[in-house]
Amino acid sequence: MFEWGYWRWQIIRCLPLGIVSALLLAATGWSVLEANPPKYTASARIVLERNVGLGGTSKAQRTPEEVQHLQVVAHALKADFSATQLSTDAPFDANIESSRDKPTYLTIQSTMPDATAAVALVQTLSLRAIELSNGFQQQSTDLKVNKLRESLRDATARLTTAEGDLRSHSNQAPDLRIEELQDQESRLRATLRAAESKSAPENPEVAKLYGELATARGLYSDLHPKVRLIKTRIDQAIKQSPAGQTGQDLRVVKQRIQDIDAQIVAGKDHQVTTGRLNAAVSSAKARVEATDDRLQAAMRANEANRINLRVVKDASLTGRNPAKVRVALLATIGLAALLLAIGVAALRIRFDARLRRPRDLHDALGLTPFATLPDLGPSLG
């Protein structure tokens, strides 16, 4: 038979103690939760790819160079991030996952009290890691090809100089070809031989022109326009001279023959110099082409061995939702407080040494009461 009155009285008697115990436990648990706010963990995964042949693959054979490249990127990322004010409040980890038959990954993870801030930070760090990787490889490429680029610049400068010298020399080419000069010399020699026995009045105009030619040669070269003009005037004067030739005219013809000989020698020298300059231009062009081919080959080799980083998993929250975990912890604390209240009440009833009902008298002394007073209720108690 259930003793309702007895248990009602025990519940009323132990209720304050149970409530106090439950409140103490609940307050302690709540304080602990407040002292440890929820933190959200976000992560992103970056895969390492390397160009092989004409395409890229993420499962190329792993080399120590690739792992070292990721380590350099991770250290540079931490050094770059440690310089900011967020480094103490928003730490992050950069872990390298590498195996023989699987792709090599760089995992970036950050834990922060704000979920949006954690995702944004990981996203920023992922993009920064790709920028650092490209920057390091560009520096390495520049170091390898800078020497070839410098050689190409030197070869191009030499080619430009050689072409300029050739153009300048070509502008000073003689007016007549060597064959024409030789033909004029033959005619003059024939005229000289035919007129050696004849006499004629001296041609003062030709003598004057030869005096001007001697003066011009003292100031200019034989290729100067003024010298050429005087020679042309001499030729015209000789052609217009009378048939008879004096001794003075024969000397003029001989001087003209000497001039033509000098022009022939100068023309031959000009041809030799032209050939030498053409050879220098050809050599410079060949050197420029060879250097450019080496440069292009080096750039293609660097591009073929280029390491690419690509985000395969965007920044997102990982693990269980801290908000749901917090609700579960609050429910656990409430249940624990309820169990504590029940346990405290049970212990108080269990260790109560007073006689509260007839069965306690029988259990403690082995006596059976003859009668009990009825429960008169609260009005007559």
Bridge partners of residue 112, in order along the sequence: 40
Helix axes 204-219, 225-239, angle to 10 degrees: 160
Place 335 in a pLDDT band, splitting at 50, 70 and 90: very high
Which region among 22-31, 220-229, 332-341 has the lowest average model confidence (pLDDT)?
A: 220-229
Task: With CA atoms as reference, report the closest residue to 192 among 258, 264, 240.
Answer: 258
The pLDDT assigned to 218 comes to: 73
Helix (H, G, I), strand (E, B) or coil at 249: helix
The pLDDT assigned to 220 comes to: 76
Q: Is the pLDDT of residue 351 over 70?
A: yes
First-to-last alpha carbon distance for the chain, in angstroms, is 23
DSSP state of 240: T
Bridge partners of residue 25, in order along the sequence: none
CB–CB of 107/97 below 8 Å?
yes
Query: Which pLDDT tens digit goes with each residue over 268-278?
Result: 787 888 888 88
Place 162 in a pLDDT band, splitting at 50, 70 and 90: confident
Mean pLDDT for all residues in the chain = 77
The pLDDT assigned to 380 comes to: 43
Average pLDDT of the segment spanning 250-263: 74
Place 264 in a pLDDT band, splitting at 50, 70 and 90: confident
Place 378 in a pLDDT band, splitting at 50, 70 and 90: low
Query: Which pLDDT tens digit goes with each residue over 302-327?
Result: 777 778 888 888 888 887 777 787 78
The pLDDT assigned to 66 comes to: 78
Angstrom distance (rounded) from CA 282 to CA 273 = 14
Which region among 44-58, 87-101, 196-210 has the lowest average model confidence (pLDDT)?
A: 196-210
With tokens 């908000």, the residue in question is 323
HSE of 322 in the Cβ direction (CA atoms, 13 Å)? 15
Comparing 358 with 215, the larger pLDDT belongs to: 215
The pLDDT assigned to 155 comes to: 87
Share of the chain above pLDDT 90, in %: 2
The b-or-e profile of 53-72 (16+ CB within 10 A means b, else e) is eeeeeeebebeeebeebbee
Q: Is the pLDDT of residue 375 over 70?
A: no
Q: Is the pLDDT of residue 19 over 60?
A: yes
CA 282 vs. chain centroid, Å, equals 37
Angstrom distance (rounded) from CA 298 to CA 291 = 11
Average pLDDT of the segment spanning 131-159: 85
